[in-house]
Amino acid sequence: MKLGLLFKDELLGFYKSKVMIFLWIGLPVIALLFRFVSGVSSGQEISFTMISAILVSSIGGTLAAVMLSVSIINENNRRVYDLFLIRPLKRRDIVLAKFLAVYLCVAIAGFLAVLVGTLVDFATTGTLSSIVLSDAGQSLATTLSMIAVSCAAGTLIGVASPSVVVGAILVIFGNNQISVIPLIPTLLELPQPEALTIVISAAMAMGLLAGAVVLFNRKQF
């Protein structure tokens, strides 16, 4: 119940601070801009849906990790958590609420970007081929998986870092490397790479989140 309340609060915070709007409109727009600037066309091997997904999982993942880490570090340094921690709630709920709210926001943005990509592919080819639909499904799975890893990494970095600068450096240098790991099955052309990507991402996200929760529980405020 407390997790639900904190989660709704975080979402409200993103809504009120306009972060949500920027993500939901901004990421699909960036994908579209890339489409027109790069000149990707329907005749190419890789669909625009897939390109949108890769772009969004990369930009969106980094954005999510930065958002989470900076927000946690700032709130920690400003001693915002003191008033939460002296109340009867589990410390892990604070961490999980932040993770889930950012993940949901960025995941919706990712979904919208993939949807825009699919619509653009449909508009340019005049049909939604099984390849495009399959691309959309794979893209969405890949995007959501990578964003989950990025969000979890951002949460861990936020809890562990003493300052925004250190947090930003860790996110920029660390997060990109970490979030590529789930793509290894695709790069190695293993069978059923999407399923493997989801399993690896879920395992990594849970591991990173568990680390963040343990650190936050041990923290002395």
Partner 1 sequence: MNQNDCFVTINNVTKKFGAFKALDDISFSIQQGEIFGYIGPNGAGKTTTMKILVGLISNFQGEITIGSLRLPKDKDEIHKLLGYLPQSVAFQDWRTIDHALTTFGKLSGLNETQVKDRIPKVLELIGLADVRHKKVSHLSGGMMQKVGLAQALLHEPKLLVLDEPLGGLDPLSRHQFKGIVEKLAKEGATILFSSHILSDVQDVADRIGIISHGRIKQVGTIDDLKTRLVRQKTVEVMLSGASDNWQKLSAVQNVSEVTQPQPGILLLNLKSGADEDQAINDVVAKVVELGIRIRGVWMLEPSLDQIYFNYVSEAEN
Which residues here bind partner 1, judged by CB under 8 A?
Answer: 2, 5, 9, 12-13, 16-17, 75, 78-80, 82-89, 220-221
Q: Which is nearer to partner 1, 75 or 194 (CB)?
A: 75
What is the identity of the amino acid at 162?
A: P
Q: Which is nearer to partner 1, 12 or 33 (CB)?
A: 12
Give whole-number Cα distances, 154 to 15, 102, 167, 202, in Å. Answer: 20, 10, 8, 15
Least separation in angstroms between residue 19's CB and partner 1 is 10
Least separation in angstroms between residue 81's CB and partner 1 is 9
Report residue 34 as tokens. Answer: 């890339």
Contacts of 220 (CB under 8 A, 6+ apart): none
Contacts of 155 (CB under 8 A, 6+ apart): 68, 69, 72, 95, 98, 99, 208, 209, 212
Q: Which is nearer to partner 1, 190 or 219 (CB)?
A: 219
Q: Which is nearer to partner 1, 3 or 199 (CB)?
A: 3
